[in-house]
Every structure is written in structure tokens, then in C-alpha cells.
Structure 1
Amino acid sequence: MRRLGWAFALTFFVGFSAQAQDVYVPYNRDVYHWIDRYQIKYGEQVPGLQTAVHPYGRQDVANLAEISARNARTAVDEFNTSYLLNDNWNYTTQENNESRKPILNYFYRNKTDLFHYESDAFTLRVNPVLHFEVGMDDQTDGIRYVNTRGVQIEGSIDGRFGFYTFIGENQARYPAYVMDRIRRDGVVPHEGFWKDFKEDGYDYITARGYLNYALSKHVEIQLGHDRHFIGDGYRSLVLSDYAPPAFFLKLNTRVWKLHYMNLFQELTSEFQRGGGDKLLPKKYMALHRLGINVTDNINIGVFEQVVFARDKGKFELQYLNPIIFYRAIEQAVGSEDNAMLGADFRWNIHNRLQLYGQLELDEFVLKEVKAMNGWWANKQAGQIGAKYIDAFGLSNLDLQGEVNIIRPYTYQHRNSTTNYQHYNQSLAHPIGANLAELIGIVYYQPVPRLMLTGKAIATRYGQDIITDTDTLNYGGSVLLPYTTRVSDYGNEIGQGNTTNQLHLDLTATYQFRHNMFLDLKGILRRTDAEINALDRNTTFFSFAFRWNIPQRLHEF
């Protein structure tokens, strides 16, 4: 009977009248900075692009690029908008993408794709993926490197069915501070299964992909294996791109001034190397967010998520209801699950400034909050930030400032099946919790093909203390159960092994042809911990060649 019901539902959806949909722009922080820049300047004319949910649809980005191109006043803006139009050529008629010298009449017939095919019923884009990076770190011996080779394929059928896949084979030797994280958590940041490679190196496969189908003019369904990011900030306190890709089912409903997103994910509750082939334990997350364009320049979102597991990997069917209040269901089934809720906002001011923020409530008891006594279950996180475009009247100088505060024990739960992590990696902030952070970013594009980016990330956080016999849980690691907390009251941000960390990054990126980049990067990290044995001061320099792949950032 259940199978018959699913078959009926599928037949209903597939038979529903559908119109054009779009594939998504792969999440690349550099490219998304350009999109956000023009959304601040001209986004009132593209109300369908609600920027708190990443990735963005190619159709929305193409619409924004068309408006931005008509208003471009500098050579840099003309270059950037031309890039966005050409990169989304199959969703616009305003691209300038014809190649003057195709290779063997089949390859690079346009400027953007190694191979492409286009007809009224079918589009296909095939591109190579390469990332070769070499660097030196003053804390390790030998060359640090990244060696990635792969392919990216995407396309659409009948204007309603989209597909995307990315697969890359990687070998890497990381700087010392990244290797410290790998040894601590037993995983390579942002990645899933890995193997040792030669001396202090790592070998792993990166794979992402999805299918997208337009159920109607305003509703689409997506099934795949990928990351997601929610929020307008540099960090997300709700769902970030730190953890590796995961299997998901996603519904997007866009109508009137509303964008309603439902996301269901299958996660890995814990990972340990060794022990031979075995099925890793599963858990699940259900998340929904309703975004409302209150005015042309103000967007407010409310969201809720719940993490849960059942015996033998079963999904709790009640969470499939796309418009239910998850907290009510979580209580009705016995309050064993980890439910959270919150809100976000974005306010564009005079097409030059953007204010944004997030509030995440893991637990909230008003009496305890008002008492200000450091109750352990006052588990909340907050973010406030601003973006300033063409700062001080200087074209293509963009600034961003952000503050993140996360109280101790936020995101922790009873065990690995309900805590807020996937594959031993946090689903929100990469450090976890028990922190206060200040981020400052400067983007400057003096000439069309050159981007200069400077970042300063100052974080005060409390590390959990490891002794010979135990780990003292001060509320920093998402992996620890809150039942092992050190105290019920008197908890404050930075408790435990109080650590002050400064991460500085200066990067010069030159794009010498479409999606082909050269990066020159310098990283300086200074860490001052009360337990000095955990200090790690690092200076790292690297040079990279990238083709159709974003930078690999390890900012934790």
C-alpha cells in the first residue's frame, strides 16, 4: 500500500504542468561575492533572488547580470557582468560568448565550456576540473600541495529537468594547522572518506551531483548529494559549507514575495577509520526556511531544523510534512530529537550598504536567560554583519564586517545520532561553539582580471581540555554529549582552555581566461592558548592554478 502511494504521488508530480527551471551556480565564494555585490546595487529589480539560500539558480543570476550589465559604469563591472552572462549563457540572450578559434571544431566553440551542445530540447556543458597548488609552511618539512583532477557536467532537458555532477580525485599535503584538525577529528576538513597518501599526505574523492525538476511554474524538486549554505554572512550559524556533501531531497517554492525551502538530508553520525568495510551509522536532518521580501530591499527569514535517528537507520516519517512545526512533532514522539529554530534578515540600504544577521536558538528558557547565571542550556548563537559596496566612493572596493557569538554547548546533544554534525564535522561554524568572532574582509579589483582579497578573522574560543583519563567538556566541540558538561551554571563564552586566534589571509587572484585562475596566497596565523602546548603559530605561502574549481579554504 505504501509503495502504491509513493507511485501515485510520483505520477502526479511528473504529470503536473511544468515550466522552465534552472541549474544552480556552483558555490564559489569569489563568484558569489560578485553576485552579492550586484544584488546590493540592483537587486530590487530581481526580487526572485533571495540571497540567504545558497546556491543561486542560474536563471536568477542571469537576470541580475543583464540588469547589472546595462548599468555598468567601469571596465571592472563590465568584465564582471560579462563573466556572469557568459557563465550562464544558456539562460540569457545578452552573452558575448562566441569563440573565435574553436579547437578541432568541437572544443571551446564558446569561451566558457570545453564542450557544449544546445538545442530547443537539450543543453549540455562539459568542463575539466584542475587544481594544482604548491606551498611552504614554517611548521612542517617539505612541499605542501593540492593535486585535483576531475570533470564537471551539467545540462537541462525540455527546459524543466536539470542535472549537475562534479567528481574530482585529490591528493594533498596540508599545512600544519590543517593537519592538527585532521588528527583531532579523524577526518579531512570538508571531505568524507580518505586514505593515507605517501608521507603525511591524504587521498580522497570529491563527488557532488543532483537532479532538478520543475513540478510547476513555482515549485521545483531536487534530489542529490551536495552542500548547502544558509545566510548572507561569511559564516553561517544555521547550515554552512564546512561539512562534506550529503544526500538530500529539496523542495523550493517561489511565489509572490515568498521563498519556502524544505531540505531533508541523510547524514553520517560518526566516522572512524579502520575495522574493514562496514556500513556507517546514519542520522537525518529536516530543515525548512520561509523567506519573505517585506519590501524590495528587506528580506526576513524564519527557519527550523531537527536532527534525529531511529533504529536501523529508519527515517521519522512525520518530519516529511513540509509545513508542520517540527518542535511540536519532536515533543509528540518523545523529545528525543534535536530541534532548533531561529530567524535571519537582510536589509539593502541605498544600493550601497547591506546589513544582515542570524539568530539560532538551540534551547531557550526566558527565566534562565533573564537570570544571566550562565545556565548550560542557554544555547544560542547570533550574527550581525554589514557589506559596503564601492566603499568611500572608490569603485570596486568592497568591505565586509561580521560578528559571530555562539554560547557553550550550542549544537551539542545526547550523542552522535542527534548532535549537529556530519562525518565528524560541524554543520554550522567550523570551530563549533563557545566562541566570539570578528571578521573583516576587503575586496579590491583594481583592473578587470585581478582581485585582491584581504581577510582578518579574530576568534576567542574555549577549547575542551583533554587529560590523561578524560576530556573536560567546556562546550566547544560539537562532537561531545552535553551530558558530560563541566557545570550547570556559571558557563561563559571562552571557558575551558581560553584561546585567542588571529587568522590573516592575503590573496591575489588573476583570471587569465574564463574560470581559469592563478592564486598567490599568504596566510599568517597566531594562536595564544592558556595551555601553551596547544599553541600553533603558522606562516604559509602558496601558489595555485585553478580551472573550474573554487579555492580550498581552511579558516578554522
Structure 2
Amino acid sequence: MSALLAVAQQNDIPLNRDIYYDIDRNGAEKSSTMHTGMRPIIQSRADLKNVMGFRPDSSRQYYWITEKLFKEHLIKVKDGGFKLTIDPAFQFELGHDYREGSDYSDNAFMQHNGRGFHIAADLGPTVSFQSSFYENQAVLPGYLFQYSQVYGVVPGQGRIKSFNQRGLDFAWATGNVSWSPRPWINAQLGQGRHFVGNGYRSVLLSDNTTPYPYVKFSTLTNNKRFQYTAIFAKLQLVGEANRLPTGEAGESLFYWKRATFLHLSANIGRLQLGLFEGTMWKNIGANGVLAFNAMQLNPVIGLNTVVNGFNGANTQLLGLDAKYKITDKAFAYGQFALTDPDRNRYAWQLGMQWFDIIRRDLHLLAEFNEATPFAYTKPNARMSWTHDNQPLASPIGTGYTELVVRADYGIKQRFWFQGELSLVKHLYGYAMVEVPGGDIFGPDKQTSITGEERQRLFAGVNASWRMNQMTNMQITLGYSTRDVDPGTIGRDSGYLYIVWHTGLFNRYYDI
């Protein structure tokens, strides 16, 4: 049966963990040659066996409306080599925060009204495109509202405009054109996010931020032993403090910076090993835009680090990611990110995933992450490892340790139960922006100011009925709790919610 999300061979598989749960299970097989360390994965390079949105659906529906609601795309056109699907994308959520302690605790009723669409098309066997857009109005739990007031964005979703004291208006858009003139090469132009790694977090590059414009090139050897990816992106910071002083537009541009992300992946038996290099280029100086540096187009991994070093005006990150297949149902994974070897600043990750434990669709992930104080920071705070005021690696930022445990259990691919736990020790909470070493936008060296270490617990459970695999449409009932110690008013949460939504991207609210 036609797939998702997947009418087009060259489209990216939407970066959502529900979908990649099946892909990671296929990638755990010792015989698999699929490269999973750079995401999203192009459909033509993925093992789509039994993946949500691509698996056969033999259910019988007797009416047109039930076919569209539970089984098919809303609109589907196929004419020769041309294929097109159009689907609604939405988030309709109601909830109540029973531990809301902010100034707005007299009204702890929450809601999220998000409406949009998802379009995917195949213009023959080599060219594909897709696009998604959401317009949102929301009243979010207190800790997310306060985060948005400090940083000017809803985590991972967009710049905010406030209304009615507590309401937030924000939009989210992504899309790309993907061209594979030969099976071994792919080129893309678009706006989106990327993720390096095989776990829940990434200490290198994650999909935690809002989408950014990019150009991407990727090559794959015929034997699938090596895959090389080069991404050239444009990042920015938002907020009035980051407006550029000049400009002819009615709304001046924000401070921006180009970025280069290079990744080399190699299959070595059961081991998949990746080398990552990230560079942020300083493009704005005291007198305006700096002269173009041809090294910003360099596609050779490692060369930018050699030329720039770690302590120059540009920002360098060098890292490794690895996955080792223990059995056909389990793999261990890890990462290491080096941001400043002279001052011993780095981050690392170690984790494991098990699939089909005892019975099919019982899954467990356990992961530990750590970043040293001042990792990802720069003397020029605008050159920190960030985009749209959000960390490009873990949403926790820097100066932290974190334990993550997640469990999933599915019944007949229709009913899913999930549990999550995140324990964090952190030098910085967003009410402590002056604490050095824990603020990714703060000073990059110790000062006379000292801060206390915070502990943050986030836990949640939910149950979902997955209605339509084509857009991961589901109805979910869940509860999440957040405790910060020591913390100020409004940092804790006990959120009970019900939501009808499509799941085509990840949201990180466990911050």
C-alpha cells in the first residue's frame, strides 16, 4: 500500500520518534547496512519494513469517511510518475495544571489549538518535495510560558506573540525539495531540522530548535559502507536585543550566522561509526556584514577545525557518534563532543535501546548525558552553539548531567502506552541567567558569582489510540510532572491533558 508520508522515494522521513522507533528496530539488525546516525533519513535509503506510515493496512472500512479518517491520505493524486498527497496537520489539546504556582495559577486551564497541512509529492523517480505548516494559539503550562517569555520562542516551534496575558501565538513551517540524480547522491534545498545520533538526546546536533534554512548534499557508496553528508545552514538569534541596527525592511533582520555541519558515517561490521564537525561562522561585525569567507563552502570534514581552531571568532565543535549492534533487537550507542580542548570543555553520551522485549512492541531506552560547565559557550554569546535562542544540542544547554529512561508498549499497532523519566542536575535554571558555566548564553569563564546546583525531575505517562498511520494521527491521554529543587514559583508542573493530533515532528517539553 502507498505510504505516508512516503509517496515520494526521495523525501525525508519526518523526524518523529514514533516513526523512527520502527526504523531503529530495523537498524538494530546485525545485517542492516542503513546509516542511522544522520537524520532525517531519505526514504530511498531507509529500511521501511513494517515502519509506521509504510506498512500494509488490511483493515476493512465500509465508508469513504472512515477510509479517509482511519486508513488513507485525505487527498491522493497519482498520474504516471506524478504522486501527490495532502493531509491536515493539527494539535487540539485541552489540559489542566494541578501544580501551577505562577501569578496565573487562578486559571490553570491549558489549551493548544494548532492547524495546518502536510503536502508530499513525487515528480518522477528522482525529484520529491514536501511541506508542512502549523499556525498555533496556546496557553501552556507555567514553566513553558516562562521559558517563552525569557527566550522569545516556544521550545522547538517558533517565535511568539503574546495575547490575553497568558496566550501565545506562534507558527511553524518546514519543507524541502530533494533531488537524487543517481542512487548514490542526493541534494536538498529547504527549511528544517537535523539530528545526529541514535538516542533520545544528541550532544552534537539535535532537532530541539526551530527550523532553519539549509542546503544539504549527501553521498552513499554503492556497497553502503560509507555515507557523507554536508549541510550549509543559516542560523539566527531572536528578540529585540538581537535586531540589526540597519535595514530597509519594515522589520529589521536579526543577528544571523552561517553554519556548516559535516558528517561521515562508516559501517564496520556490527559497529557504525560517525565523525562530526560543526562550524558557526561569524558573519556580523561592529561595522556590519563581514566579507565572505570561502571556507564557509568547504565540504572537507576536519579542515575547518584545523584552520579556525577552537578559540577563534568562529565556533568549532568536533565529535564522534557510534552505534554497536549487540543482538538483532538491541544496540548500544554513544557520542562525544569536544568544544574546547585547551579548557577541558566537552559533552558525552552513553545509552542503549532494546526492542521487542519479551513480546513484540515492548521497547526500552536508557541514556546518560553530560556536558561540562561552559561547554558550547563563547566569549561572544551570540556565537554560542544555538539557533533562535535555543541550544542546538541538548535542550538542557550546558553544565549538566542527565539520566533518561523511556519505555513504549504497543498492542496491535493501534494502542500505545509510553512512560518517560528525565533526571537532571544543572548549574543553571532560566531564572539564574547570571550563573557562569551553566548558561549557554552566559560568560565563557568563571566569575565571582556562584550559583547553586539545581535538580530537575520530569516524568510522564500516556496512552494513545493511533487512528491513521499515514500522518501518525492519534488521540492521547496523559499526565506529566515536573519538579525543580530548589526552584522559584511557577517552575513545577502537574499536567493532565487530552490531545487529538498528528505527529510529524518532535516536541521537547522535558526541559
| TM-score, L = length of structure 2 | 0.88
> Any idea what the Cα deviations from partners look like across 1:380-405, whole Å, max 9, x if unmatched?
000000112222x2332211100001
Residue 305 (structure 1) aligned to one of 260, 264, 278: 278
Aligned counterparts, 1:294-333, within 5 A = 294-295=268-269, 297-311=270-284, 312-313=288-289, 315-324=292-301, 325-331=303-309
Question: How far apart are residue 534 of structure 1 and its match?
Answer: 6.1
Higher-helix-fraction structure:
1
Go from structure 1 to structure 2 and tell me whether the alpha carbon gap of 1:274 and 1:361 turns closer, same or farther (over 3 Å shift). Answer: closer
Equivalent residue for 1:119?
79
Equivalent residue for 1:264?
232
Equivalent residue for 1:486?
447
> Any idea what the Cα deviations from partners look like across 1:214-233, whole Å, max 9, x if unmatched?
14331111111111111111
Question: How far apart are residue 171 of structure 1 and its match?
Answer: 0.5
Matched letter for residue 298 of structure 2: N
> Any idea what the Cα deviations from partners look like across 1:412-436, whole Å, max 9, x if unmatched?
0122442111111111111101001
Kept after mapping to 2: 8 A contact 1:464/1:475:
no
Counting aligned pairs with the same residue, the percent is 26
Kept after mapping to 2: 8 A contact 1:229/1:240:
yes
Kept after mapping to 1: 8 A contact 2:19/2:52:
no
Equivalent residue for 2:54?
85
Equivalent residue for 2:392?
427
Q: 1 or 2 for the larger relative contact order (CA 8 Å, sep ≥6)?
A: 2
Secondary structure of the structure 1 residue equivalent to 2:488: helix
> Any idea what the Cα deviations from partners look like across 1:43-76, whole Å, max 9, x if unmatched?
x4441x2111111222344x441xxxxxxxxxxx
Go from structure 1 to structure 2 and tell me whether the alpha carbon gap of 1:166 and 1:435 turns closer, same or farther (over 3 Å shift). Answer: same
Kept after mapping to 2: 8 A contact 1:524/1:540:
yes
Equivalent residue for 2:21?
33
- CA RMSD between the two structures: 2.7
Residue 205 (structure 1) aligned to one of 163, 171, 174: 171
Equivalent residue for 2:467?
512
Equivalent residue for 2:371?
406
Secondary structure of the structure 2 residue equivalent to 1:472: coil
Secondary structure of the structure 1 residue equivalent to 2:496: strand
Matched letter for residue 392 of structure 2: L
Kept after mapping to 2: 8 A contact 1:465/1:472:
no
> Which moved further from structure 2: 514-523 or 264-273?
264-273
Kept after mapping to 2: 8 A contact 1:402/1:439:
yes
Secondary structure of the structure 1 residue equivalent to 2:149: helix
| Separation in 1, partners of 2:304, 2:51 | 44
Matched letter for residue 495 of structure 2: F
Equivalent residue for 1:418?
383
Equivalent residue for 2:485?
528
> Which moved further from structure 2: 52-61 or 202-211?
52-61
Higher-strand-fraction structure:
2
Kept after mapping to 2: 8 A contact 1:528/1:535:
no
Aligned counterparts, 1:88-103, within 5 A = 95-96=56-57, 103=64
| Separation in 2, partners of 1:252, 1:128 | 30
Question: How far apart are residue 212 of structure 1 and its match?
Answer: 0.8
Equivalent residue for 2:453?
498
> Any idea what the Cα deviations from partners look like across 1:344-365, whole Å, max 9, x if unmatched?
1001112122100000000113
Question: How far apart are residue 274 of structure 1 and its match?
Answer: 11
Question: How far apart are residue 35 of structure 1 and its match?
Answer: 1.8
Unaligned 5+ runs, structure 2: 1-7, 244-249
Kept after mapping to 2: 8 A contact 1:135/1:543:
yes
Unaligned 5+ runs, structure 1: 1-19, 66-80, 87-94, 366-376
Go from structure 1 to structure 2 and tell me whether the alpha carbon gap of 1:123 and 1:273 turns closer, same or farther (over 3 Å shift). Answer: farther
Secondary structure of the structure 2 residue equivalent to 1:463: coil
Secondary structure of the structure 2 residue equivalent to 1:533: coil
Go from structure 1 to structure 2 and tell me whether the alpha carbon gap of 1:313 and 1:519 turns closer, same or farther (over 3 Å shift). Answer: farther
Equivalent residue for 2:199?
233
Go from structure 1 to structure 2 and tell me whether the alpha carbon gap of 1:548 and 1:379 turns closer, same or farther (over 3 Å shift). Answer: closer
| TM-score, L = length of structure 1 | 0.81
Q: Structure 1 residue 387 and structure 2 residue 353: aligned?
A: yes
> Which moved further from structure 2: 416-425 or 343-352?
416-425
Matched letter for residue 304 of structure 2: Y
Go from structure 1 to structure 2 and tell me whether the alpha carbon gap of 1:378 and 1:131 turns closer, same or farther (over 3 Å shift). Answer: same
Kept after mapping to 2: 8 A contact 1:509/1:520:
yes
Matched letter for residue 309 of structure 1: K
| Separation in 1, partners of 2:364, 2:70 | 34
Go from structure 1 to structure 2 and tell me whether the alpha carbon gap of 1:22 and 1:244 turns closer, same or farther (over 3 Å shift). Answer: same
| Separation in 2, partners of 1:288, 1:550 | 23
Q: Structure 1 residue 341 and structure 2 residue 325: aligned?
A: no
**Bigger-Rg structure (1/2):** 1
Q: Structure 1 residue 354 and structure 2 residue 331: aligned?
A: yes
> Which moved further from structure 2: 280-289 or 266-275?
266-275
Equivalent residue for 2:5?
none
Q: Structure 1 residue 554 and structure 2 residue 506: aligned?
A: no
Residue 259 (structure 2) aligned to one of 280, 285, 290: 285
| Separation in 2, partners of 1:446, 1:21 | 29
Q: Provide the aligned length of Structure 1 versus Structure 2.
A: 483
Kept after mapping to 1: 8 A contact 2:333/2:351:
yes
| Separation in 1, partners of 2:71, 2:111 | 29
Q: Structure 1 residue 171 and structure 2 residue 131: aligned?
A: no
Equivalent residue for 2:3?
none
| Separation in 2, partners of 1:364, 1:523 | 38
Equivalent residue for 2:247?
none
Go from structure 1 to structure 2 and tell me whether the alpha carbon gap of 1:273 and 1:151 turns closer, same or farther (over 3 Å shift). Answer: farther
